[in-house]
Amino acid sequence: MSDATTSSAAAKTPKVRFSPQRVWTMAMATVTQLIRMKILAFLVLFCLLAVGAGFAFSVINPEQQLSLLKSVTLGALQIFSIVIGVVSTALLLPKDLEDRTLYTILSKPVPRFDYLLGKLIGVLMLIGGGLIVMDAILSLILWMRQSLLFDEAVNHLRMEKMDSAEAVTQMREIVARQGLTWNLHWAVWAIFLKATVVTTVALLLSSIASSTLFTIVITFCVTIIGHGEALIREFFFTPNLSGMTGRAAALLLAAICPDLAQFDIVDSVVNGEIVPWSAVLNMTSLAAIYVTVYMFITHLVFAEKEL
């Protein structure tokens, strides 16, 4: 066939471009797959157990009761959103390749980037859906619990004959600060952002490696290192701590791993501190930058991958 025939046919054939509909189709198939694997049910069940555990410890005052409930539940949400993000992502890509499902998908007019993005969005939709459900349940429990605890505390003050207006107002403020506030939703949002970044790292590793176990182990290592970026920076900027090799290794780690400590606002929320809008905006922007960079690298790797 002449080059002219090829080029004229190529010119006549419309280019296949990025398609949100195609990405949505991939994302919905991924969500359906994970839901039918009962992953969401497992997440919700575990977190409900965590909420139950929040009541199980003996407490001294209402403030401690509410703080403990938030601490245990948000901690469980944090761990499980990361675990589900990493494991689901690490399983899905190699499984598609192993089952040859990837061949039937990519032999259709589907750009590889659309496939990757669809998979990522599917996993994030599942995590996001689970977190929204848990946020709603936790909000409801906190709201009910804070009313009950406030009444109990006021009764206690009354019995102790310490129920002055000032003391009751102070108690209301303490309980309200530890009860249901917007801060709780920001904490859940931060958990989602952290899980999003870690899931994107898992997708990148999954596109490089063919082993699910390798992807899971390395992603968890990156997650652990990502929580210690401040230490790495300190190590790098303190001249007397190490030689050139150590500093180079620290620089490399800092460059590769995301700074996950930036998303750690759960402790502040548990302590009843106010999370400013600027902090939320910074976290969201940072997560967007990480996701864009990691997805770009993933696309470069996956576009060249021999299937």
Partner 1 sequence: MSDTPAVSVNHLTKVFKGTLVKGAFRAVHDLSLTVKAGEVYGLIGPNGSGKSTTMKVILGLLKPTEGDTSIFGVPSTEVASRSDVGFLPENPYFYKHLNGRETLHFYGSLCGMRGAKLKERASEMLALTGLEDAATRRVGGYSKGMLQRLGLAQALIHEPRLLVLDEPTAGVDPAGSRKIRDLIIEFRSRGITVLVTSHLLEQMQEVCDRVGIMAHGRMVREGRLEDLIAVENQTEMVIENASPALLAQIDALVKAAGSDTRLLRSGHPRTTLERLFLEATNEAKKS
Stretch that binds partner 1, among 65-73, 95-103, 172-180, 204-212 (CB under 8 A): 95-103
| Contact call for residue 36 and partner 1 (CB under 8 A) | yes
Cβ–Cβ < 8 Å for 192, 284: no
Binding partner 1 (rule: CB under 8 A), the pick from 42, 55, 103, 237 is 103
> How many helices and strands (H and E) does the chain possess?
13, 0
| Contact call for residue 119 and partner 1 (CB under 8 A) | no
Stretch that binds partner 1, among 32-40, 129-137, 184-192, 208-216 (CB under 8 A): 32-40
Stretch that binds partner 1, among 17-25, 137-145, 243-251, 258-266 (CB under 8 A): 17-25
- Short-list 229, 227, 231, 201, CA closest to 216: 201
Q: Which residue has the tokens 């652990």?
A: 224
User: Rounded CA gap, 130 and 9, in Å?
Assistant: 48
Cβ–Cβ < 8 Å for 115, 26: yes
Stretch that binds partner 1, among 7-15, 125-133, 249-257, 293-301 (CB under 8 A): 7-15
Number of residues that bind partner 1 (CB under 8 A): 35
Contacts of 19 (CB under 8 A, 6+ apart): 114
| Contact call for residue 26 and partner 1 (CB under 8 A) | yes
- Short-list 188, 274, 219, CA closest to 86: 219
| Contact call for residue 19 and partner 1 (CB under 8 A) | yes
| Min CB(305)–partner 1 separation in Å | 9
Query: In terms of CB distance, is 95 or 158 closer to partner 1?
Result: 95
| Contact call for residue 301 and partner 1 (CB under 8 A) | no
| Contact call for residue 38 and partner 1 (CB under 8 A) | no
User: Rounded CA gap, 252 and 286, in Å?
Assistant: 19
Residue 15, φ and ψ in degrees, nearest 5: -65, 145
User: Rounded CA gap, 33 and 54, in Å?
Assistant: 32
| Min CB(86)–partner 1 separation in Å | 21
In single-letter form, the type of residue at position 74 comes to: L
Applying CB under 8 A, the residues found at the interface with partner 1 are: 1, 5-6, 8-10, 13-16, 19, 21-22, 25-26, 29, 32-33, 36-37, 99-101, 103-111, 304, 306-307
